[in-house]
Amino acid sequence: MSYYSSTYDTSPRGGAPLRGSGWHRLGNALKTTVLLAGLTALVLLIGQKLGGARGLAFAGFFVVVMNFVSYWFSDRIALAMHGAQPLERSQAPWLHEMVEELAGRAGMPKPKVYLLPTHTPNAFATGRSPKHAAVAVTAGIMELLDRRELRGVLAHELAHVRNRDTLIGTVAATLAGVISYAAQMLFWFGGSLLSRSDDDEEGGLAGALSSLGVLLVAPIAATLLQLAVSRSREYGADATGAELSGDPEALASALMKLERGAQLMPYDRAPATSHLFIVNPLSGGAIMSLFSTHPPIPERVRRLQAMSARSWRPGF
């Protein structure tokens, strides 16, 4: 009997569906499709403003390439950006056993396990599908959390993989980055572009003001769309992860510890991937919290504690 099977209910679920399946997953998929369509439209709009018909065609091609790269190589890119190293079973057999048990309960293959060499306590998952997934934990989270809390964190990350959140988050981040980069190009090289006209009606002050509007609005819109993708899925992953682990209180306790740890030791090695982590690794005050890629920790904790207070149990 494993360490955690004597403490938690790890018996088969008897076919009861996890949260995030059925209509819940369909609703998330539809919402994500709309949000990603919005990001793609912004890319195309900026392309048109930068180069007219040619710019529009180039933007369309660029979006296709970015989506292809994000789909097939998102896991490798994210892990490489953080210097993640494979964590062998011999190094932490209990951790591999924990991941394997949770993956089995989720009805998915065991993902690869990686270690990030940082003392900031955090974790994230990546991969385009459950068959091509990876879970990464930092050295700091291994030191800060007990095994019960870490199990709750791993369940949350596996919920992201199961619900295809990791793929969607990577694509959204990629497109949002493209939009911001294109807007910067429009700013730095806008002298000729703002005054360019494809015909007499599009030139002059009206065309300049239109392009300037895109310059100002596009990065903000891209950020808001990215935040909507990220924030809307954290609550779902919390609920699915709590059901998967059978212990919502453990995840709630872990979130509170991780928030304090991230505040004391912020981690900004790759800000574009901050939404992948279970808690926001970046530092910021009250104003910056409005643009956080994660919903407020107190609200996430409140929801988890409410699940526990209702005598919540797996399959309930």
101, 149, 157, 249: the catalytic one is 157
DSSP 8-state assignment for residue 5 = T
138 forms beta bridges with 116
- Give helix 23-81 / helix 204-245 axis angle, nearest 10°: 100
DSSP 74-114: HHHHHHHHTT-EE--TTT-HHHHHHHHHHHHHHTSPPPEEE
- Residues 267, 248 contacting (CB under 8 angstroms): no
143 is catalytic: no
Burial 82-93 (b: 16+ CB within 10 A, else e): bebeebeeeebe
Count of CB atoms situated within 10 Å of the CB of 1: 6
Count of CB atoms situated within 10 Å of the CB of 226: 25
Decide: helix, strand or coil at residue 18. Answer: coil
The strand order across the sheet containing 112-116 reads 85-86, 112-116, 133-138, 123-127
> For 171, left (φ over 0), alpha (ψ -120 to 50), or beta?
alpha
Place of tokens 């700013």: 187
Cα angle, residue 12 at apex, residues 103 and 236 outer, rounded to 5°: 50
- Residues in the chain, how many? 316
Which residues are catalytic, by number? 157
